[in-house]
């Protein structure tokens, strides 16, 4: 059995074509998603294994992407242990009583996936069984810094003032917080791998808010802890963030096999900063997908050119699919990447 292209790309092995998937490929841009999901709470949808599996599979059916990613949210583990997190439509995760001091560590007990959120593994198993061996399922977890930012800020933030204040003012509590979140992320990813995921992605979406010094001191160690913990499972890991141009050299030390970058850093520059031991994932600007197809196609070709012919490129957007995206554009993108992407192509 051949290794699926996405998995091979993570290992920087030759592939039959450049693999492609889209962050938030299961989402509001799809009419079948809106029909299946309705207007209910996203955490409720995630806790319904059949529904979560269906939403995970929809974009594979429609687009023919090279991977499914489990329909989930970065706050699932903290929600499941009762920290008090909701996800507000159009806003994001909101925490009623934010984490503010050492005493709040007591609210973060270990996360036991099979007990606290059995639906995650159940959904992953349903998806893996449906997909079969040719299309991999990507396991999903939030990175410690980004999850912590919601717990401390109480919701989405533009300035990250509270979280930065806490990390600088009380590094011991900060490190205890992100270590617990690292263990929760690792436990969740391990349960997804046991259920059939063959790649994992750690979302550190807001890491780019940190200075390089802050990232090194306050985010990288806990991120390393996640990848170290899951390393024995033998599946490749992808580390993703937005606005991480200054951080790529440090992110290369996290233990991931591939690093996702947004559209701000051309992939040849990203490769130079990451070094030769990492695959790259990205990096078409999701906003470009709202432009006419000729523009999308030209920008996608530029991504492929910048990624080069070396092995180890996973085509993706630089951030999630925007809800107003025309699914037809994404279908055409998959076709273009499969036809024209030549990264590490097998000799014919």
Binding site for a copy of itself (CB under 8 A): 159-162, 164-165, 168-169, 208, 210-213, 243, 245-246, 263-266, 269, 285-288, 290-292, 295, 299, 302, 322, 324
Of 193, 192, 178, 158, which is closest to residue 72 (Cα–Cα)? 192
End-to-end CA separation in angstroms for the chain: 18
Closest CB to a copy of itself among residues 230, 267: 267
Q: What is the DSSP code (8-state) at residue 345? A: B
Q: Which residue out of 62, 66, 73, 183 is catalytically annotated?
A: 73
**Least gap, CB of 268 to a copy of itself (angstroms):** 12
Q: Which residue out of 37, 62, 273, 306 is catalytically annotated?
A: 37
Q: Which position has the token pair 């530029």?
A: 302
Q: Which position has the token pair 């294994």?
A: 49
Annotation marks residue 73 as catalytic = yes
Q: Which residue out of 150, 183, 271, 273 is catalytically annotated?
A: 150
Q: What does the alpha-carbon distance between residue 249 and residue 251 come to, in Å, rounded to a whole number?
A: 6
Closest CB to a copy of itself among residues 79, 319: 319
Q: What does the alpha-carbon distance between residue 82 and residue 285 come to, in Å, rounded to a whole number?
A: 36
Annotation marks residue 150 as catalytic = yes
**Least gap, CB of 269 to a copy of itself (angstroms):** 8
Closest CB to a copy of itself among residues 246, 340: 246
**Least gap, CB of 171 to a copy of itself (angstroms):** 10
Closest CB to a copy of itself among residues 45, 336: 336
Q: What does the alpha-carbon distance between residue 200 and residue 27 come to, in Å, rounded to a whole number?
A: 19
Q: What does the alpha-carbon distance between residue 345 and residue 14 come to, in Å, rounded to a whole number?
A: 5
Closest CB to a copy of itself among residues 11, 160: 160
Annotation marks residue 264 as catalytic = no
Q: What is the DSSP code (8-state) at residue 195? A: T
**Least gap, CB of 299 to a copy of itself (angstroms):** 8
- What region does 255 belong to: left with phi over 0, alpha with psi -120 to 50, or beta? left
Annotation marks residue 309 as catalytic = no
Task: Give the contacts of 334 (CB within 8 A, at least 6 positions apart).
Answer: 20, 63, 64, 65
**Least gap, CB of 209 to a copy of itself (angstroms):** 8
Look at residue 87 and give its three-state secondary structure: strand
The catalytic site residues sit at 24, 28, 37, 73, 150
């Amino acid at each position: 059995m051949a290794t699926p292209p996405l998995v091979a790309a993570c290992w920087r092995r030759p592939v039959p074509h450049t693999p492609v998937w889209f962050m938030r490929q299961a989402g509001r841009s799809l009419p079948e998603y809106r029909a299946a999901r309705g207007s209910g709470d996203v955490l409720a949808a995630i806790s319904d294994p059949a529904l979560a599996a269906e939403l995970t599979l929809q974009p594979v059916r429609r687009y023919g992407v090279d991977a499914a990613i489990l329909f989930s949210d970065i706050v699932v583990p903290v929600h499941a242990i009762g920290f008090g997190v909701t996800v507000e439509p159009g806003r994001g995760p909101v925490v009623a009583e934010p984490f503010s001091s050492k005493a709040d560590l007591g609210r973060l007990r270990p996360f036991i996936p099979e007990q606290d959120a059995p639906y995650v593994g159940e959904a992953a198993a349903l998806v893996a069984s449906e997909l079969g061996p040719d299309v991999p399922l990507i396991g999903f977890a939030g990175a410690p810094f980004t999850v912590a930012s919601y717990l401390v800020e109480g919701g989405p933030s533009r300035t990250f003032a509270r979280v930065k204040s806490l990390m600088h003012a009380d590094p011991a509590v900060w490190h205890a917080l992100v270590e617990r979140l690292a263990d929760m992320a690792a436990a969740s990813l391990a349960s997804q791998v046991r259920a059939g995921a063959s790649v994992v992605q750690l979302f550190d979406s807001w890491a780019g808010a940190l200075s390089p010094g802050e990232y090194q001191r306050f985010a990288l160690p806990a991120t390393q802890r996640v990848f170290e913990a899951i390393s024995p499972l033998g599946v490749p890991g992808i580390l993703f963030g937005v606005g991480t141009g200054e951080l790529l050299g440090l992110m290369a030390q996290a233990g991931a096999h591939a690093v996702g970058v947004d559209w701000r850093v051309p992939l040849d520059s990203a490769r130079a900063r990451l070094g030769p031991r990492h695959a790259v994932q990205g990096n078409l600007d999701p906003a470009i997908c709202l432009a006419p197809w000729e523009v999308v196609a030209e920008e996608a070709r530029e991504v492929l050119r910048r990624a080069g012919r070396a092995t180890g490129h996973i085509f993706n957007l630089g951030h999630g699919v925007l809800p107003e995206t025309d699914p037809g554009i994404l279908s055409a993108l998959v076709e273009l990447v499969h036809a024209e992407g030549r990264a590490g192509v097998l000799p014919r």
